[in-house]
Chains A and B, each alone.
Chain A
């Protein structure tokens, strides 16, 4: 039996307000799991929130690198994934 693939997801700003969390461990389903599929998975973990609309305007980071194309990244387990909502520094 294969080990479950787990990632840590970091929430900030509006995403952390919506989920009530700043981080959570997420077990990925078996098989290839693309970063682009993570939206659906996170939204299903947080029903009755506006996380869906927040994720639609957010970018992702994986292991401290911003991601241009979530479809091109396959998560293997062990990654630190950041939900990067539209920023407001400065």
Chain B
């Protein structure tokens, strides 16, 4: 049984450069990857966060996520804009002419976070990033994840085998 606060609704925000979504549905990784595909991309980096079956020796039976969705979806979009903009300012690949690297080192990104009850082994978050070159795709994918973990107004509760639901812990990202 989900304890679903009224503010923890599904949400979707799309710009020319990114898509962010909060959904109670199973995350369709292939569809999320397709949403960032582009013939100008030489690389697509994908991160899938899955629910693990243990925490400090205790067996985890499920996770529950809730969000303050109207803020969280804007936070995800701001994270995407900011991280992509800072990728534009980086200056590796010095042998390639400046006007080529500076233009669009990232083509498109997608951040999808699932809400509600997520059984062990299923995905809670999928991040996909397409870019001409792999360096930017990997780097941005990781940075998006770290920023989401730091800032998104989303909370996870962990339920343990053999323990009452009331003992389930609200986790804190460190």
Contact = CB atoms under 8 A, between A and B. Distances in A.
B5 A88 contact: no
Given A64-B74, A82-B68, A82-B71, A90 B152 contact: yes
B7 A87 contact: no
B153 A88 contact: no
B79 to A, nearest CB: 11
Contacts of A25: none
A90 B125 contact: yes
Interface in A54-86: 61, 64, 66, 82, 84-86
B66 A90 contact: no
Given A16-B5, A64-B71, A89 B149 contact: yes
Interface string A1-18: 000000000111110110
B151 A13 contact: no
Contacts of B6: 22-23
A61 B7 CA distance: 13
B149 A90 contact: yes
B62 to A, nearest CB: 15
Contacts, number: 83
A89 B75 CA distance: 12
B156 interface: yes
B93 to A, nearest CB: 29
* Interface of B, helix, strand, loop or mixed by DSSP: mixed
Interface residues of B, number: 32
Contacts of B157: 13
Interface in A8-66: 10-14, 16-17, 22-23, 61, 64, 66
Contacts of A64: 70-71, 74
Contacts of B72: 89
A25 B108 CA distance: 41
Contacts of A13: 66, 155, 157, 170
Interface string B33-66: 0000000000000000100000000000000011
Interface of B: 3, 5-8, 49, 65-68, 70-72, 74, 113, 124-125, 145, 148-157, 170-173
